[in-house]
Structure formats: C-alpha cells, structure tokens
Amino acid sequence: MATAFDDETYGQRWQVETVMFMLKRHFGSALTSRKYQTRRREMNLRAVTHNLMILRFAELFYRAFLTPYLPLQGIPDTLSSLIFSKRLSKR
C-alpha cells in the first residue's frame, strides 16, 4: 500500500522529532497530572520553559563572542598580556 506524503510537511518531521526528544530528555516522558486541563497546563508550561531555556542558551552563546578578553586575576599584567597576545596571534 503506497501512501503519498506531502514533501514539505514531511520534511519538517525531523524538527518535531528533535523538539520532542529535547522535551523528554529535559522534563521526562511522563506527565504527573491526572485531569485533562492540568495535563494541558503542564505541557504548556513545559513548552514555555523549553523555549526560555533555548533563548537563554542562545543569549549565553552569543554573549561569549561579544565579551572582551579580561586579564586573569592573580597573574601579573605582563604575564597575562603574553598569554592573551599568543591567543590572539593564533587566530
């Protein structure tokens, strides 16, 4: 039995599978609520929390590129300048 899938919709399946994997990995695969409305609320809270975690990770990731190199604490300035000049020259 051959089934024709919409290529555009089926191409997005991997994205859905990835998000479901991430949700299950971070929050577990079972819901703790029993009633329908509280289960919906729990899933919505998980989705919002997941989105906030993604945004926070992206913010930290991009902030790392914007942070200038700071001198190491407890190391004399001449030594720290040598370390940082070697780091910059490797680029």
- Mean pLDDT value across residues 23-51: 93
Return the pLDDT at 59: 79
Share of the chain above pLDDT 70, in %: 67
Does residue 49 form part of some domain? yes
In a domain, 78, yes or no: no
User: Mean pLDDT score of the chain, rounded to an integer?
Assistant: 77
pLDDT of residue 57: 84
Check pLDDT > 60 for residue 39.
Answer: yes
Residue 72 lies in a domain: no
Query: Of 27-31, 45-49, 76-80, which gets the smallest average pLDDT?
Result: 76-80
Q: What is the DSSP string of 9-43?
A: HHTTHHHHHHHHHHHHHHH-S-----SHHHHHHHH
Residue 4 domain-assigned (yes or no):
no
**Would 61 be classed as within a structural domain?**
yes
Q: Taking a C-beta distance cutoff of 8 angstroms, is the pair 21, 12 a contact?
A: no
Query: Quick check: is 86 in a domain?
Result: no
> Is 90 domain-assigned?
no
Place of tokens 């190491």: 72
**Total domain count, the chain:** 1
pTM of the entire predicted model: 0.57
The whole domain housing 37 covers 15-67
